[in-house]
């Protein structure tokens, strides 16, 4: 049996993007995140998988341990809503600081999504990506999943760039709860 998933960007989508977040006590989830992820996972059985560029590691601004600590903190905060992220995939590399082979995992490459699909037996045709940046939406398009741009984080700026380049997300959402409601309706066939 295959699974269906929602792939989630982290900074700017789930939590306030304070720039190279390395301190778990500074994690600030957007207000609607717990409710949205609980709906997706507990009511509709989506796997929740974070796919995140974390170039701060390559830049020497944060460590992998700090990224892992921030990810753990996100799950601690989400546990109050009886939900946790199933897996965190992140790319710690950047073209200015890493070799070309290493940076293949960076969004807009679909590599993290494709790896997760193998690891969790995910049917990408029944899966979605939610993010706030151009690279998030292009990553989802490259992985052949439906894409939702949230207007938190960089979302508003990203929307005009995507439109100018004719790379339209499947849906534009005010926030992650709006995105979750779209996913639930779309998955159940309301929009077909």
Structural domains of the chain ordered from first start: 5-187 (3.40.50.1000)
Q: Of residues 140 and 102, which shows the higher confidence score?
A: 140
Catalytic residue among 11, 86, 132, 136: 11
- Residue whose entry in the numeric block shows the structure tokens 């989830």: 29
Catalytic residue among 9, 17, 86, 132: 9
Residue ranges of the alpha helices (H) in the chain?
33-38, 64-79, 111-120, 134-142, 155-164, 176-187
pLDDT at 97: 84
Q: Is the pLDDT of residue 33 over 80?
A: yes
9 is catalytic: yes
Average pLDDT across the chain, whole number: 96
Q: Is the pLDDT of residue 191 over 80?
A: no
pLDDT at 82: 98
Choose among 53, 50, 175: nearest CA to 108: 53
Torsion of CA 38, 123, 191, 148, to 10 degrees: 60
Mean pLDDT on 147-153: 97
Reported as a single tens digit per residue, the pLDDT across 92-137 is: 998 888 888 889 999 999 999 999 999 999 999 999 999 999 999 9
86 is catalytic: no
Q: How far apart are CA 73 and CA 65, in angstroms?
A: 12
What pTM value is reported for the model? Answer: 0.97
pLDDT band at 192 (very low <50, low <70, confident <90, very high): low
Q: Is the pLDDT of residue 38 over 90?
A: yes
Choose among 132, 8, 106: nearest CA to 54: 106
pLDDT band at 81 (very low <50, low <70, confident <90, very high): very high
């Amino acid at each position: 049996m295959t699974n269906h998933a929602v792939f989630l960007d982290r900074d700017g989508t789930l939590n306030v993007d304070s720039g190279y977040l390395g301190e778990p006590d500074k994690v600030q989830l957007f207000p609607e995140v717990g409710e949205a992820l609980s709906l997706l996972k507990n009511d509709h059985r989506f796997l929740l998988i974070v796919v995140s560029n974390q170039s701060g590691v390559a830049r020497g601004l944060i460590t992998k341990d700090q990224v892992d600590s921030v990810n753990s903190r996100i799950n601690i905060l989400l546990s109050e809503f009886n939900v946790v992220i199933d897996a965190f995939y992140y790319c710690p590399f950047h073209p200015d600081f890493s070799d070309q082979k290493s940076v293949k995992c960076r969004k807009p490459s679909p590599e993290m999504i494709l790896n997760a699909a193998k690891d969790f037996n995910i049917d990408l045709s029944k899966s979605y990506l939610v993010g706030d940046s151009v690279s998030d939406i292009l990553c989802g398009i490259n992985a052949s999943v439906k894409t939702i741009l949230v207007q938190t984080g960089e979302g508003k700026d990203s929307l005009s760039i995507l439109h100018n380049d004719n790379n339209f997300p499947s849906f534009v959402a005010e926030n992650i709860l709006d995105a979750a409601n779209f996913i639930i309706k779309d998955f159940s066939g309301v929009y077909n």
